Amino acid sequence: MTIKTAFCAASALALATAGGAFADSHTTTLTIATVNNGDMVRMQGLTEDFTAKNPDIALEWVTLEENVLRQRVTQDIAANGGQFDVMTIGTYEVPIWGAQDWLVSLNDLPAEWDADDILPAMRGGLTVDGELYAAPFYGESSMVMYRKDLMEAAGMEMPDAPTWDDIKAAAEAMTDKDAEVYGICLRGKAGWGENMAFLSAMANSYGARWFDEEWKPQFDTDAWNATLTDYLELMNNYGPPGASTNGFNENLSLFQQGKCGMWIDATVAASFVTNPQDSTVADQVGFALAPDNGLGKRGNWLWAWSLAIPAGSDSVDAAKKFVAWATSKEYTALVAENEGWANVPPGTRTSLYENEAYTSAAPFAEMTLNSINSADPKNPAVDPVPYTGVQFVAIPEFAGIATQVGQEFSAALAGQQTAEEALEKAQALTTDEMEAAGY
């Protein structure tokens, strides 16, 4: 190599490096991990609005199915991989990860983001020791969806805030097994996010809880016995066949086909069962709050898909700008302008429910808001608990434990064991796992 060529090569290299550095100083690329739900996919379509306002920030999307996303972000955050700058996570992860200092505090988001506008229940679920660790993108609770025509035919009326006795009476009146109409459809499929989400929320309204303040499992209490016994009776007498393998999707399909008199599940389902293109009973659906037992707690849950910034991110400021944009009032208005008010992400801000354009476009808006507001993740049960979470317990071991407990309850629903046997096994396996985890 002559001196001349060496010089040329060195100059080229220097230019390239300088060019790279120059480019770096002007553009930050954010890698965003998100779930492939409709609202999130819509957000990707609208990001031009963000990049136009922030020309120095480029966005890279990693869109994954819920379970895969959960595994990927969990691995990344636990190993401090720094692969993502913004993560979509649920209310289960936020308290655990926040307590481990794995997430960046969002207390200093700009004033116009208006943190006070976030629904108190949502803020409570995403806050650890006074620090907000994630911004809710959309939120949900659960409520009763019922067939108005069947109730009318039975000569009954569903109160806005029913008790479990009301539900039992309505289920009995609406059941017509010969016509394949079942009074009530509930989740029976085993899983911490399936039957246990419903049963944990139901147990709250019966005065039961997962753990006492010393973290001792509570399945040996009368309250849990009453919860499971009533659930099994409801399902065995008025539920559809094969309920022990029915989850959210199966019940949605049954309800849309007109085979369920009632369905107690996520508020997000309201728009699916009232959509005439998918539902044969779209114009006959009524809504009510999840039932209670007069003990001060309702059997509804609370969930939010939220955006959080992992502590390992090296573009925290840019990430905060993005999170503030995606969860702002302006973003909601942007979606409304492009897709109509019925399609805005629900369940996170008070101002949305004060907006007439929205409340008139979504007939289930009021009930959704009331359901969300009646859930308190800090005090989910009648008695005090040491954990955060309404339909889950925000500790790392919960997913594993609850899925196994869910399998015992599912087996009880299938008639393979009694409620007492299922509770006994649940108590034993939870005690074992908690001891092994060092509680």
Work out how close the CB of 251 gets to other proteins at its nearest, in angstroms, rounded to a whole number: 11
Decide: is 79 part of the binding site for other proteins (CB under 8 A): yes
| Closer of 348 and 430 to other proteins (Cβ) | 430
| Closer of 340 and 400 to other proteins (Cβ) | 400
- At 309, is the secondary structure helix, strand, or coil? coil
Binding to other proteins (CB under 8 A): which residues in 259-318?
A: 259
Work out how close the CB of 438 gets to other proteins at its nearest, in angstroms, rounded to a whole number: 8
Contacts of 162 (CB under 8 A, 6+ apart): 144, 170, 288, 289, 291
The single-letter DSSP state of residue 118 is: B
Among 100, 107, 351, 360, binds other proteins (CB under 8 A): 100
* Nearest Cα to Cα of residue 372 among 55, 139, 102, 109: 139
Decide: is 171 part of the binding site for other proteins (CB under 8 A): no
* Nearest Cα to Cα of residue 210 among 412, 386, 418, 400: 386
Decide: is 355 part of the binding site for other proteins (CB under 8 A): no
**CA 353 to centroid of chain Cα atoms:** 19
Decide: is 71 part of the binding site for other proteins (CB under 8 A): yes
Work out how close the CB of 174 gets to other proteins at its nearest, in angstroms, rounded to a whole number: 16
Tell me how far apart the alpha carbons of residues 215 and 125 are, in angstroms, rounded to a whole number: 20
**Based on C-alpha coordinates, what's the Rg of the chain?**
24
Among 240, 291, 346, 347, binds other proteins (CB under 8 A): 240
Work out how close the CB of 357 gets to other proteins at its nearest, in angstroms, rounded to a whole number: 39
| Closer of 269 and 422 to other proteins (Cβ) | 422
Among 414, 418, 420, 421, binds other proteins (CB under 8 A): 414
For 327, the token pair is 């969860």
Tell me how far apart the alpha carbons of residues 154 and 177 are, in angstroms, rounded to a whole number: 15
What does the per-residue mask of binding to other proteins show for 174-213, with x meaning CB under 8 A? ------x--------xxxx-x-------------------
Decide: is 353 part of the binding site for other proteins (CB under 8 A): no
Residues 174/281, Cβ–Cβ less than 8 Å: no
What does the per-residue mask of binding to other proteins show for 371-410, with x meaning CB under 8 A? -------------------------xx-xxx-xx-xx--x
The residue type of 177 is K
**CA 361 to centroid of chain Cα atoms:** 23
| Closer of 118 and 308 to other proteins (Cβ) | 308
| Closer of 59 and 401 to other proteins (Cβ) | 401
* Nearest Cα to Cα of residue 300 among 251, 248, 265, 259: 265
Tell me how far apart the alpha carbons of residues 213 and 383 are, in angstroms, rounded to a whole number: 9
Work out how close the CB of 74 gets to other proteins at its nearest, in angstroms, rounded to a whole number: 7
- Helices marked H in 154-247: 164-174, 195-205, 222-238
Residues 228/409, Cβ–Cβ less than 8 Å: yes
The residue type of 151 is M
Work out how close the CB of 439 gets to other proteins at its nearest, in angstroms, rounded to a whole number: 11
Which residues contact other proteins by CB under 8 A?
71, 74-75, 78-79, 96, 100, 180, 189-192, 194, 240-242, 244-245, 253-254, 257, 259, 396-397, 399-401, 403-404, 406-407, 410-411, 413-416, 428-429, 432-433, 436-437
